[in-house]
Structures are given as C-alpha cells and as structure tokens.
Amino acid sequence: MIRIENISKQNSHQILFIEASAALFKGEKVGLVGPNGAGKSTLFRMITGEDQPDEGQVSVDRGVSIGYFNQDVGEMSGRSAVAEVMNGAGPVSLVAAELHALETAMADPDRDDMDAIIERYGEVQARFEELDGYALEGRAREVLAGLSFSQEMMDGDVGALSGGWKMRVALARILLMRPDAMLLDEPSNHLDLESLIWLEEFLKGYEGGLLMTSHDREFMNRIVTKIVEIDGGQLTTYSGDYEFYVAQRAQNEKQQQAQFERQQAMLAKEIKFIERFKARASHASQVQSRVKKLEKIDRVEPPRRRQTVSFDFPPAPRSGEDVVTLKGVGKRYGARVIYDGLDFTIRRKERWCVMGVNGAGKSTLLKLVTGTTAPDEGGVTLGGSVKLGYFAQHAMELLDGERTVFQSLEDAFPQAGQGSLRALAGCFGFSGDDVEKKCRVLSGGEKARLVMALMLYDPPNFLVLDEPTNHLDMATKEMLITALGAYEGTMLFVSHDRHFLAELSNRVLELTPEGIHQFGGGYTEYVARTGHEAPGLRG
C-alpha cells in the first residue's frame, strides 16, 4: 500500500534519513519507534504528501485512502462534537452536508426552483443511503462513547472542550472514517485507561494498514506485529511486537559488539606484527601482504550507543508510620457528591495507585491529600515528619516562561553547585544547549521533565503524582520507573500507563459508583483478582 524507497531528508542542519526504505502492506499493524527528533512526524508528513523527501520516493497505491491523526488538531468550534466527527468521515460527510443544505432550501416557500431541488434531493438521498449515511450518526456516537464522551459532551459545542478532549474528537474523526491506511501519531496521549483499552480493541479489529507511534509500551505491544525503527538516518524493520523488538535490538547490539571486539583484537595483532617487522628485509613480503590484507578488511562499526539517562534518588528523610489519614471526608461539587464519609489511611512505604472512571474523583482525592482542595466534611491529617511532593498537570503552567531551564533549577536550589544542577538537567533529558531554552518554548514533555527534576532533586518522602507520564517519551518513562522503583518513600498516584502501574504499585484504591474498594496487592494482582484492567470494564 505504502512504499518508502531510498529516501534522504535533511532539515536545516539535521540529517533525518539517508537512503532509507520501508513498507506498509494491507492489513499490517506497524509501530514506528525512534528517539525524539529522529523524524517520525516528518515521515508521516511525507506519506501524506505534506512534505517531500530530498531524494528517493514515497509512493501510495492508487485509490488508497489515508487518515492521519497528529497532535495539532487545529480550530474547532460552532458545531457539536458528534457533527464535527461526522464532518471528517470522508465522502459521506460531503453528501450529508449537501442533504442538509437541500432540506433547508426545501423549507423555504419562496424558492422558485423547488422541482429541481426536490429532484436533486432524491438523488442525494439515494447516494446517502448507499453510503450507509443514516447509520453514520450512530457509529459516530459509538466511537465518541468509546473515547469516554458523555451524551451531553457529544451534543455540546466542540469549542467549549479542553485541548485534550478536542484531541479525542480529531481521533474519533479518523476512526469513523475507517480509511484504507491510518497514520496515528501518539493516539494514546490524553486518553484515560478505559478509552485506551477501548481504542486497543478497535484497532485490533481494524482491517486496514496501520502505522503508529506511541509512548505507551503496553498499548504498542498489544496492537503491532511489526516495528520500523528510525535510528541514525536508517529505517530498520523488525517482525514482532515491541517487546520482541527491544530484545532483538539488544541481541543485535551484543553480537555487533562481540564482532567489533574480535576484529579489534585481530587488527591489533596484525598491526603489532607489522610494527615489529617492518624494518626487517627478511620479513618484507609478509609485512606487505598483511598491510594489503588490512586495507581490504571491511571494518565492523561498534554498536551506536543510545543515550540512556538514569536518575538516582538522594535518600529522602524518614516519615512517621502513618503518612496521611482521611477521616469521614465528604466532598461535593454542586449537587454532585464525590466522597461521603471516606475513611482512608496511607502508611509508610505503601504505593497506592488510584483507579476509577472519568469523574470518579481520582484527582480530587490527590488534591484533598495535598491540601490543594479542602474537604466539605471530615478531616485530612498528614503524619509526623512527612515531606510532600505533588506533581499535577497545572504545575507545568506555573513555570516562569521567561526563565531558562537552568535558571529555573538555580532559583529552586540556590545552594547547589553548577555541576550537580547540570547533571540533574542531563538526567531529565536537558543536555548541552537545551538548558538555555526558555520555559515558554518548552514542549509538554519538556515541561513535565523540568517539573519532575525540580520535585525530585531534594526528594520528598511522600510523592503524590497525577498522570506523571502523560507527556514523557519511552526512555524518560523507563528512567522514571527505574528511579521510582528504588525510591524508599511512600507514593499515591494516578496513571493510565499500565506498565507504570504494574511496576510501581503495591496497593490499589478502586473508586466505583457502588463504593470504594481497597486491594492489598499491586495493579497486576488487581487485574488477576477482578478480571478487568480498569473500573468500568468487565471481562
């Protein structure tokens, strides 16, 4: 369906591709991976024709329809969410628009071309039925419901939605369109766990070709059967899921390293012989033949080392045994009761993940615990010697846009040396000139990394994290999981990343309309005991 043949591409000073090739065939589900800035989005744009390679070609088979979802959703307003989704559904949406215009014209008694309008209406209506147009609204609502929209949100003005919900509308448009090939750039961003699992099932049942990127390793693993990796300007294809790719890549690197070392040892031996005997006439012919042999050898390159970041927590001060206690807590927003008589205690070294459908009160619980919201009844008490660190999405908006990354770290830790602050910045992906970037130009992922660096340098003994991995790439996420795995303190967190949940939780608090349930094991045990991966999903 889609072929990428010997493409080369350079963006200003950066070379993205050098004679790179790959293909997407009908029915294949392919994951596109590579470090940030490697050229994933550029590749998508070349497939859609928005960008062109400098050399080589990207060809799409005749008649193949492509749906492209990216993070830049553009303007949306003046229509309901369901109308916005239907509007993007390909040819049928154009027919629906004409049908609507003809209905309006027919309602105007002053029109003198009514016979022509009625005749045209019959033709358009027949075409609309042929395209299964009358089922379109039902399908649009089904897709939006899968992405966690309530009926009110579906029928409300799309312009009133937040950026994250508009992103879901844009995604729903592509899913409803069901093109021959889907290009999905980070579709798992901004989705809660229920929507993520619904999308997973939808994509598994999708029969077209799929090329996608995602920072969610579990999501990628369950959908793709092939990986295309961008690395050093090349496209390398691996048959298998993401786990297979990681293992295969590690094995390839190990073999390449062993080959490199063997060749280096052989070269050293030959060079030593040449150096030793080059002045002796008796060995002249042997020396010459060895010099020629060395000139002809294909040199094995050492494997390219990926920049891996690691962060070691300085030890946090020890807290008391009871870290936080909620007693008889009530909380409501208007007529909506979120909590009524909630009793809940977190003890030292417990790592609670909070599960619940949208609106169940996950973020509210975190705000109550951190004191950012006061309960309407009851009390929240922090234990002795508790030092709290709170990561919330709004923390990223509080960064001073005019300060650079490095100045932000210096402001927070005036006693720290330049060296240790640069090391901290490096751990969180700010190397070289990146530390001189002003906060206002940082991407969502960069802001999240900076806020985390600010929070973890002088570590709290109680971490409260609200969707900490939302904007992080896989490498930073892995670094964070490794660092938090070694963390000695207590944790309370909300996350839709199942790998993060499984690796770090040892307790689960499930919020459901029927009540609040506490599980004494981590997320993996929760899934085994309940038979579902998230509340609101059964089976």
Residue 149: pLDDT above 50? yes
Question: Which of 294, 298, 273, 295 is closest to 284 using CA atoms?
Answer: 273
Residue 309: pLDDT above 70? no
Give the torsion sign (CA, 98, 183, 199, 72): negative
Strands, E assignment, 357-456? 377-382, 388-391
Higher pLDDT, 227 or 270: 227
The mean per-residue pLDDT over the stretch 246-263 comes to 89
Treating both helix axes as pointing N-terminal to C-terminal, what angle do 405-412 and 418-427 enclose, rounded to 10 degrees? Answer: 120
Residue 29: pLDDT above 70? yes
How many residues make up the chain in this entry?
539
Three-state SS annotation for 210-246: EEEECCCHHHHHHHCCEEEEEECCEEEEEECCHHHHH
Residue 121 CA to chain centroid, in angstroms?
A: 45
The Cα 57–Cα 3 span in angstroms is 8
Least confident of 291-305, 462-476, 491-505, 513-527: 291-305
Mind listing the pLDDT tens digit for each residue in 33-42? 987 778 898 9
Give the torsion sign (CA, 499, 500, 506, 510): negative
Please give the structure tokens belonging to residue 255.
């073999």
The Cα 248–Cα 499 span in angstroms is 20
Mind listing the pLDDT tens digit for each residue in 178-194? 889 999 999 988 788 99
Question: Which of 403, 399, 401, 364 is closest to 380 using CA atoms?
Answer: 364
How many other C-beta atoms are found inside a 10 Å radius of the C-beta of residue 37? 12
In angstroms, what CA-CA distances link 292 with 166, 297, 355, 425? Answer: 65, 9, 68, 49
The Cα 209–Cα 206 span in angstroms is 8
The mean per-residue pLDDT over the stretch 76-81 comes to 84
What pTM was estimated for this model as a whole?
Answer: 0.81
Would you place residue 306 in the very low, low, confident or very high pLDDT band (cuts 50, 70, 90)?
low
- DSSP result, 481-517: HHHHHT--SEEEEE-S-HHHHHHH-SEEEEEETTEEE
Residue 387: pLDDT above 70? yes
Would you place residue 283 in the very low, low, confident or very high pLDDT band (cuts 50, 70, 90)?
confident
Cα 397-400-402 angle, rounded to 5 deg: 130
The Cα 326–Cα 369 span in angstroms is 8
Question: What percent of the chain is helix, strand and coil (3-state, nearest 5)?
Answer: 45, 25, 35
Give the torsion sign (CA, 71, 77, 81, 86): negative
What integer pLDDT is reported at residue 539 of this predicted model? Answer: 43
What integer pLDDT is reported at residue 383 of this predicted model? Answer: 93
3-state SS assignment for residue 89 = coil
Would you place residue 448 in the very low, low, confident or very high pLDDT band (cuts 50, 70, 90)?
confident
The Cα 533–Cα 224 span in angstroms is 20
Q: Which residue has the tokens 């417990």?
A: 350
3-state SS assignment for residue 27 = coil
Q: Which residue has the tokens 């960064």?
A: 399
Residue 455: pLDDT above 90? no
